[in-house]
Structure 1
Amino acid sequence: MTNEPQPASGAYDATQITVLEGIEAVRKRPAMYIGDTGERGVHHCVYEVVDNSIDEALAGHCSRIQVIIHADGSIAINDDGRGIPVDMHATEGKPAVEVVLTTLHAGGKFDNSSYKVSGGLHGVGVSCVNALSEWLEVEVRRDGTVYHQRYERGAPKTGLERIGKTRESGTQITFKPDEQIFGATTFQWDILTSRLRELAFLNRGVCIVLEDEGQGRRESFQYEGGIREFVEHLNRSKQAVHPEVICFEQMRDDIQVEIAMQYSDAFTENIYSFANNINTIEGGTHMSGFRSALTRTINQYARANKLLKDNQDALSGEDVREGLTAVISAKIPDPQFEGQTKTKLGNGEVQGIVESVLNENLSTFFEEHPNVARAVIQKALTASRARQAARKARDLTRRKGALDSGSLPGKLADCSCRDASKTELYIVEGDSAGGSAKQGRDREFQAILPVRGKVINVEKARLDKVLSNEEIRTMITAIGTGIGEDEFNIDSARYHRIVIMTDADVDGAHIRTLLLTFFYRQMPELVERGYIYIAQPPLYKIKRRKHEQYIESEEQLTRVLLELGIEEQVFEAVDSGPRLAGDELRDFLMLLSHFERQADQVRAKGIPFEEYLRHCDPESGAFPQYRVEIDRGEEGLEYRYAFDETSLRTLREEAERELGGELEIELKGGPRALNDRPVLRWTEVFSAPRLSELAVRLKEAGFEVGRLCPGEQPVGHLYDQEDCIPVDSLFGLLESLRREGRKGLTIQRYKGLGEMNPQQLWDTTMDPGRRKMTRVMLEDAVKADEMFSILMGDDVEPRRAFIEANALNVQNLDI
């Protein structure tokens, strides 16, 4: 508020007050409801829908959840629960499912009659997803009937319609994130895998299936052991201190607490907390209760059993958590979260309950298993001694730094700017590349720190050993944040971009991995804040005649080869068709490459593309949206195609008249229906709208879609200065010109940064106007911890298994 008068041109009165209602408010300020509009927000939409299915499982009505990523960028979440109610709502005057999907703060979770425990409590989850989707379709299977309704940007496009009979129950919600809202609308397999695996661990017995139709990938998660198996999964690449996972579960004051924990030989802690299946990444009262009770219980046992002498200091929380992997799951009837994204639990009563549950059960476990208790306390005592040694090493490092020339290492070529938000530190492999980088850099904001050899693997060493490594100490001093739980201060960072720049060979990859391990294990907040980057020097330099170009990826190389393939090439269609060369031919090939990708998506759904192509409408270019399968039992299968929902319903009605009875609708990929009557299944082709757009463009270019695949006659001829080559199809034309692009081409593979002079290094890797860098982000803490343990830990077998599983994916192997 201000008392200064407003200028006349900026009048502020009642007309400036805007009232946003319901869905409109969500579209105007989406970040208020889903956290952000980037990649995280897109996936949060999926979690909102999946959480509803999980709530059905918690209520005992759902055992299987399917999540399917479709080729057009949409995603479907299907469960076998009770199905959203479809009867008319008493006060809203429309079906309950429509109320749920279009009205904020509407749902079945505001009292405990339908759901005793629930992750979705605010009633804004699925309605927000609807509001932020380009389109959303809901299919409800309930009381023997299948219902369907479509929405576009939150508004109903059709009414709720009965589309058939079924013996199944459940809900399927399919939606496509709105590109007007989200910056990125692509669903990431790894991110979804992590969350769905978590949910399967936290809800023992529930089967969750994830499929990606475009990539042909499928993974199923089902764990009868619950969070005990979760801890075993987290520790499978580590050496356990005690073989049995400590696990207990207790209900107290209507709050269910589950805790599973196991110590390993690692030097870091991995504790994950959940409240009503929500990953509370910022912790909360349940995490506070766990930490305080763990420290107190272990110290009490150690004192009582003379494992800790009377004159010794008590073990700190940091000591007792070293090497601990734990999962805390609380199920609370009325949880209080901070915001809709639910990253921190606020219920004060939960802390005391978790403390008492852990104290009682862990004390009993230690009394019954004294060998485990002694092993745990011995590890904590070793950690305590290492912590004291690390403190002395830090003190020594600081004293030495103060006595030397200033406090910055001599090998650091610092920048002149002192605004940390504008500066960047390049950690460069070797003195040779460091020399080129120092000469090529912009001294105003770019600092260079060369590192020699390979730094210590911090995955296998405690902090006191880490601090004995000269290269590590140099980096710590240059970055300026300090190190260790007690001293690290992110606000003291001297650079907000720390760029790892290593050679594009095996040694460079190893050094990069060692540095990333150091930052993730010892300075994790640098990673969490997004301060760590990886430079992307070019992989290739290609040369053909006078053409010379730097290539940064395999994908770019493929694209360039296609462009080079059309040089001095002319494509002439048969029967007085178009004649294409130069830019026209390049644009036409790009159109064909789009067609090729969509054709692969159709094949991934088990539909032969040539067959599908024959059902395209030659006049409009429209492709069928559905491939319908009529299962007549012993008479076999019949396939038909439908262009939209109306023609799908018409097709079903016609088939029922032909067969003289109702067809039972069966969910594709779901449990099989009983075979006492014919069954109707359909596969929705989510590539159809995109294919239809491409077909129109292809027709404008002078070709029918039928010429994409080989036919009886060639589609045209490819001419250059010497040859005339018949082309059997448009896809064949694409492949021929890819091969042509490699002729006469010299490809130089860059491996060492030292191979570039300072100007080349600046032009390709350091110039902010042209360079490309990869920002290191922490999307999945469980996956990251597992990967560092596998690749950098002591246990050889998990690393061997990883190498065997990924050997065929290796590219550019140096041997």
Structure 2
Amino acid sequence: MSNSTTSNYTEDSIKSLDWKEHIRLRPGMYIGKLGDGSAQDDGIYVLVKEVIDNCIDEHMMGYGKTIDVKITDHRVEVRDYGRGIPLGKVVDCVSKINTGGKYDSGAFQKSVGLNGVGTKAVNALSNYFKVQSFREGETKLAEFSRGEVLKDAKVEKSGGRNGTLIVFEPDDSVFKHFHFIPNYLNDLIWNYVFLNAGLTINFNGQRFHSENGLRDLLERKTDEESLRYPIIHMKGDDIEIALTHSNQYGEEYYSFVNGQYTTQGGTHLAALREALVRTVRDFYKKDFDASDVRASIVGAIAVRVQEPVFESQTKTKLGSLNVAPEGPTMRTFVNDFVKKELDDYLHKHSGVADALLKRILQSERERKEIAGIKKLANERAKKANLHNKKLRDCRIHFNDKKGEKKEDTMIFITEGDSASGSITKSRDVQTQAVFSLRGKPLNCFNLTKKVVYENEEFNLLQHALNIEDGLDGLRYRKIIIATDADVDGMHIRLLLLTFFLQFFPDLVKHGHIFILETPLFRVRNKKETIYCYSEAEKTEAMEKLGAKPEITRFKGLGEISPDEFGNFIGEDIRLEPIILSKETSIKQLLEFYMGKNTPKRQEFIVENLKIEKDLVEEDV
């Protein structure tokens, strides 16, 4: 190190960030990725969770059976009826790191997590944040903006019931163009009540309540007609499991730890998958292939663990090997429970045992039928991967062991040389991949999975995504269908959605499929250019720029130059998630999709699958 460099590196170079500056500088460390609300695990939903989690912990301790939640476009209000934060600590609890009521492990042995960061992160990342505690006829209120105190009121008398009220508005300079998607909020609230029998959450005027826990969850997530046997529901100390088999492809699981939805599974889910295979083999005294036992399964597991270890701050994957510091391993705990409870259940319910056996044998037949063509197709795909012109890959992948940016990974599925060329030239090669289709993909409605291997394009696509054996190896967090908003583009979307819904429905159900929104118009004058995604935005832009601005209508992705395209797939990317509503049966949906183009079908698609805010109806 040279003398000049040394002289520049002084005590003044060492900066000490206070708590709110640190959170605002590195929000990803505290809430995962930021996002605009189009993905289920975007930061704005993590903020909502952090606040409700504290109410849930109070409920678990036996205080408060009701939580009131109100969420509008940009404002969240949560009121519980627990004990209320001690009045002298109201400000500290939401603005001092390592201040909270959960460090006494006797009081909160199996809470969602230590209250060291949660509400502080919400406070620091909100334009406006208010906390008010009600205790024994008194109340204390404080207001903040981006972690700075605006108002620290004195304790006053109050007639309000004991509990805590938190109100916040996420900071729109951190969460750009954010919007809450009602389906995601509904799922979030339902999960809370499924995991906390007896709890009532009043959310935006609707009452959410569950008596049967995970059985209710599976009933909400499945279509009763497609189930091969009634849902098996098993409950024990600190563990609850519900499972059944359906007729769809793939495996579908919902896993929870201490009330936290572990979207990426972890040791508890791995233990369940292993225990199911072992128990079924022992019960039928047959050495079934594990994939045949688990094919088409829909299951849910919830465990309560002391001092859980998660693989990230946002707690999406459980890493704990033990149930408690001195307790059994997760593997042993889950396996012993499943072995006893499931074995007992199958002995007592011979009809269910017969139906389960039939489902396993059917999966075995289907697997053997496609084994030959699968081998050939995989060899072809291996060769193609060496010079796969369809895939322009990125460097970071969702299934990488570590890496902050793996959550940002996405693959654009597009059609035509000009469109894929524009995206390829303007993409971020670290996190954005492109898969080019050759014209319209095959309509695979009512076909068997054999077609995935027989059709070279589908086979290469499943290999690019790495989903042949389930979602564990999925290489991209977001799969984005990027087609023109015209008749042909809409048809390609439907054909791709048919492929995913038919053969990989769990990709849709777990929120991995999106539609890329691109601007319909460019409005500009010599000083400013505004891209507009609807007629309303165009009108607004024209009023803003005044004096007859130049207006360009984009009819296809290929018309947008690579330089411009970078504006639409970068920080300001707009995505519409594909969301299946509770009432939608996949079979019924596909029949509507690929049937005749009737008004009824169009109406059904719009209501049940959110594709775009503006479907450009004259083009459909």
Q: CA deviation at 1:136?
A: 1.7
Q: Is the 8 A contact 2:138 2:155 kept in 1?
A: yes
Q: Which amino acid aligns with 1:396?
A: L
Q: Which amino acid aligns with 1:272?
A: Y
Q: Does 1:812 align with 2:613?
A: no
Which residue is 1:287 aligned to?
A: 269
Correspondences of 1:410-449 after superposition (within 5 Å): 427-428=414-415, 434=416, 449=437
Change (3 A) 1:108 1:36: same
CA distance in 2, matches of 1:21, 1:440: 43
Q: CA deviation at 1:155?
A: 3.7
Which residue is 2:83 aligned to?
A: 82
Change (3 A) 1:328 1:786: farther
Which residue is 2:143 aligned to?
A: 150
CA distance in 2, matches of 1:426, 1:236: 29
Q: CA deviation at 1:83?
A: 1.3
Q: Which amino acid aligns with 1:12?
A: Y
CA distance in 2, matches of 1:396, 1:140: 66
**1:363-398 deviation per Cα after TM superposition (whole angstroms, max 9, x unaligned):** 000101122122212212222332333332122235
CA distance in 1, matches of 2:417, 2:410: 19
Q: Is the 8 A contact 2:483 2:492 kept in 1?
A: no
Q: Is the 8 A contact 1:535 1:765 kept in 2?
A: no
CA distance in 1, matches of 2:508, 2:435: 19
Which residue is 2:314 aligned to?
A: 341
Q: What value does the CA root-mean-square deviation take over the aligned residues?
A: 4.8
CA distance in 2, matches of 1:511, 1:521: 15
Change (3 A) 1:16 1:523: farther
Q: CA deviation at 1:764?
A: 4.0
Q: CA deviation at 1:473?
A: 4.1
CA distance in 1, matches of 2:546, 2:84: 54
SS in 1 for 2:241: strand
**1:401-426 deviation per Cα after TM superposition (whole angstroms, max 9, x unaligned):** 79xxx84899x9869x8987999976
Which residue is 1:270 aligned to?
A: 252
Rg comparison, structure with higher value: 1
Which residue is 2:401 aligned to?
A: none
Q: Which amino acid aligns with 2:198?
A: G
Q: Which amino acid aligns with 1:190?
A: N
Which residue is 1:19 aligned to?
A: 16
Change (3 A) 1:141 1:790: farther
Q: Which amino acid aligns with 1:187?
A: F
Q: Is the 8 A contact 1:234 1:782 kept in 2?
A: no
Q: CA deviation at 1:67?
A: 1.9
Q: CA deviation at 1:526?
A: 9.4
Which residue is 1:791 aligned to?
A: 589
**1:623-670 deviation per Cα after TM superposition (whole angstroms, max 9, x unaligned):** xxxxxxxxxxxxxxxxxxxxxxxxxxxxxxxxxxxxxxxxxxxxxxxx
Which residue is 1:511 aligned to?
A: 492
Q: CA deviation at 1:356?
A: 0.8
CA distance in 2, matches of 1:383, 1:527: 22
Q: Which amino acid aligns with 1:47?
A: K
CA distance in 1, matches of 2:142, 2:354: 62
Q: CA deviation at 1:48?
A: 0.7
Give 1:175's match in structure 2, choosing from 164, 168, 173.
Answer: 168
**Percent identity, aligned pairs only?**
27
**1:320-342 deviation per Cα after TM superposition (whole angstroms, max 9, x unaligned):** 22111111011224322234311
Unaligned runs of 5+ in 1: 87-94, 212-217, 309-313, 429-433, 543-548, 567-581, 588-744, 751-755
SS in 2 for 1:348: coil
Q: Does 1:387 align with 2:386?
A: no
Comparing 172-181 with 135-144, greater Cα deviation is found at: 172-181
Q: Is the 8 A contact 2:494 2:593 kept in 1?
A: no
Give 2:64's match in structure 1, choosing from 49, 62, 65.
Answer: 62
**1:674-732 deviation per Cα after TM superposition (whole angstroms, max 9, x unaligned):** xxxxxxxxxxxxxxxxxxxxxxxxxxxxxxxxxxxxxxxxxxxxxxxxxxxxxxxxxxx
Change (3 A) 1:454 1:401: closer
Q: Does 1:192 align with 2:193?
A: no
Correspondences of 1:235-254 after superposition (within 5 Å): 235-236=222-223, 239-242=226-229, 244-251=230-237
Change (3 A) 1:801 1:21: same
Q: CA deviation at 1:161?
A: 2.6
CA distance in 2, matches of 1:65, 1:419: 44
CA distance in 2, matches of 1:525, 1:230: 16
CA distance in 2, matches of 1:379, 1:401: 30
CA distance in 1, matches of 2:560, 2:233: 54
Which residue is 2:534 aligned to?
A: 553
Q: Does 1:762 align with 2:558?
A: yes
Correspondences of 1:317-336 after superposition (within 5 Å): 317-336=290-309
Unaligned runs of 5+ in 2: 37-41, 324-329, 397-408, 428-433, 524-529, 595-599
Q: Which amino acid aligns with 1:221?
A: F
CA distance in 1, matches of 2:439, 2:139: 65
CA distance in 2, matches of 1:515, 1:224: 39
Q: Which amino acid aligns with 1:382?
A: Q
SS in 2 for 1:119: coil
Q: Does 1:803 align with 2:601?
A: no
Q: Is the 8 A contact 2:480 2:516 kept in 1?
A: no
SS in 2 for 1:343: coil
Q: Does 1:485 align with 2:281?
A: no
SS in 1 for 2:371: helix
Which residue is 1:472 aligned to?
A: 458
Correspondences of 1:161-172 after superposition (within 5 Å): 161-172=154-165
Q: Does 1:226 align with 2:213?
A: yes
SS in 2 for 1:274: strand
Q: Is the 8 A contact 1:237 1:786 kept in 2?
A: no
Which residue is 1:612 aligned to?
A: none
TM-score (norm 1): 0.59
The alignment covers a number of residue pairs equal to 571
